[in-house]
Chain A
């Protein structure tokens, strides 16, 4: 997993975002055991307490759970993962629509733009 951090947001919330994305995209599949806090912190190059905080937040959201002795696991509840997927998709859509608005695009223009792009990318993205 590649970790990237923006400078204008807290590190822990970016960790939450990136691990969620890892879960949604299947990089951390349902039911998979997560690496230890220390290993994840080292991989991301962040403070272990910050990683711990991010994992606690993911636990609160239901995407991961802790088994007392065995460690942390990705949830097996597909519904929760689907919910997270939808949340991330909506966020991306909102950012996209904001950008389009700044460019002066209206509803019709945006839709036809999406159609055009879909045609062009048909081969490689499979959309």
Chain B
């Protein structure tokens, strides 16, 4: 069964059509890049998958169920903005995640944190932007979820941090789970993706395996994206 399925999904904000009749199926075991320019609807789509927004039309199914309390147990979501309470320290955040999510694996989180020399007493407030992003990702990836939705996980961090984040995604790869990464930094993520979804003006333009684009077009997804989205 598909882990994520959108059927005729639309979202309208007043006069703005943010998503327009989106049909999309994502299978378990896939790492998918959700690629589109700013304002194309990436964040709206991810928020709909989380039940943070409700569709204007159409439907979303997560492992066969509409977004709700049951699907939140399946979905691990990294928002595009900092969202952790900055007065908390790492230990408190882990308690918080363990309280909210039955699938939170503290051992896995501790292991990754130790690797970065981050201790439990460190508070979010004291951290650099890059470290904060790493901690957020570690918490999100330490859940044994069925669907990881990562909204711009590599935006605004240095290249070494970017590598670490992509490494973490590969390290935690689980054939029973899917990962959706929204980004416009395609060249950086291309190698870790199975397939890409191009989105423009709220519409899905293309869903294709990375190597199929490279094979058919003789260019990288990054180059192809630049061609398709040329301003």
- Assess whether A5 is in contact with B215, with CB atoms less than 8 Å apart: no
- Assess whether A47 is in contact with B191, with CB atoms less than 8 Å apart: yes
Q: What CA separation (Å) do A26 and B46 show in the bound complex? A: 47
Residues of A within 8 A of B220 (CB): 7-8
Give the tally of cross-chain contacts (CB within 8 A). Answer: 56
- Assess whether A48 is in contact with B173, with CB atoms less than 8 Å apart: yes
Q: What CA separation (Å) do A12 and B210 show in the bound complex? A: 10
User: Is A66 in the interface zone, CB < 8 Å from B?
Assistant: no
Within 8 Å by CB of B166, from A38, A45, A49, lies A45
- In the complex, how many angstroms separate the beta carbon of B212 from the nearest chain A beta carbon? 8
Cβ < 8 Å to B, chain A residues 31-58? 38, 41-42, 44-50
- Assess whether A47 is in contact with B193, with CB atoms less than 8 Å apart: yes
Chain A interface size range: 10 to 19
Residues of B within 8 A of A50 (CB): 191, 194, 210-211
Given known pairs A10-B215, A49-B194, A50-B194, the reply for A42 and B170 (CB within 8 Å) is: yes
Residues of A within 8 A of B215 (CB): 10
- Assess whether B211 is in contact with A41, with CB atoms less than 8 Å apart: no
Chain B 132-154 per-residue mask, 1 if CB under 8 angstroms from chain A, else 0 = 00000000000000000000000
User: Is A1 in the interface zone, CB < 8 Å from B?
Assistant: no
Q: What CA separation (Å) do A44 and B210 show in the bound complex? A: 16
- In the complex, how many angstroms separate the beta carbon of A82 from the nearest chain B beta carbon? 29
Residues of A within 8 A of B223 (CB): 7
Point out residues on B near A: beta carbons under 8 Å: 29-31, 163, 166-167, 170-171, 173, 191-194, 210-211, 214-215, 218-220, 222-223
